[in-house]
Amino acid sequence: MNGYNPLDLCASSYDPQGITGAVDIQVGSNRAFVLDNVVTFRGTQNPRNWLNDLDAKFTRYQGAYVHAGFLNYYLSLKPGILKSLKPNMPVYITGHSLGGAAALLAAMELPNVEGVCTFGAPRVGNRRFARLYRVLVKQTRCFVNQLDPVPWVPFALWGYRHAAPLTYFNGTEWEELDCFCYLKLLLKNWRSADDAVQYHFIKSYQEAFAWDRNSTPITI
């Protein structure tokens, strides 16, 4: 482990100046950073636009089916990432939102991956992808903040599944997510559901971890 806080890395990835000391990889509007073999994928700058423009068609990848747009994002950055990694050393991957989706895809094929940490990441693949992921990737933490809608798209009815278990902030503490807790919170807070996207912003995740002072500090 390198001692970096992945949430801080994700927040810095949105800064125009990027992550201090990291290799800055940009392909068009796509961006990632590599710092001491920690790969950080930047998410979209506008979550509302990203949700509106969601293209959820499946494409084949690693013997399964995944979201074509997420895969294209990752693959555009892959060559630069591979050139920036130190060989024969552990690799850690993190990302927020779209960056979290890319992190999950990258973990399936980048060398020496030891851990993945995502924040507000959407589903990226079908049931077979989820099964393969859990076999191939050693350790993954996927965090969901309250009413954040992004982790619940693309919809399970379309064949998408989460690749790893979710850890969920219920407003007072972080807990392991069961299949009903988002629905319960949504019903409890239905009056504010139309503003749910506010829970997706990286600042809201920082506030959630600051609120729960008993939560274990995250490092990679």
CA distance 130 to 86: 28
Read off the tokens for 172: 């007072």
Does residue 97 have an active-site annotation? yes
Any bridge partners for residue 119, and if so which? 96, 143
Non-local CB neighbours of 217 within 8 Å, separated by 6+ positions: 5
Which is the catalytic residue, given 97, 178, 192, 194?
A: 97
Whether the Cβ atoms of residue 44 and residue 101 lie closer than 8 Å to each other: no
CA distance 90 to 217: 20
Determine the straight-line distance between the first and last CA of the chain, rounded to whole angstroms: 5
Does residue 13 have an active-site annotation? no
Which is the catalytic residue, given 12, 13, 76, 148?
A: 148
Instruction: Select from 97, 68, 112 the least CA-distant residue to 204.
Output: 97
**Catalytic residue set:** 97, 148
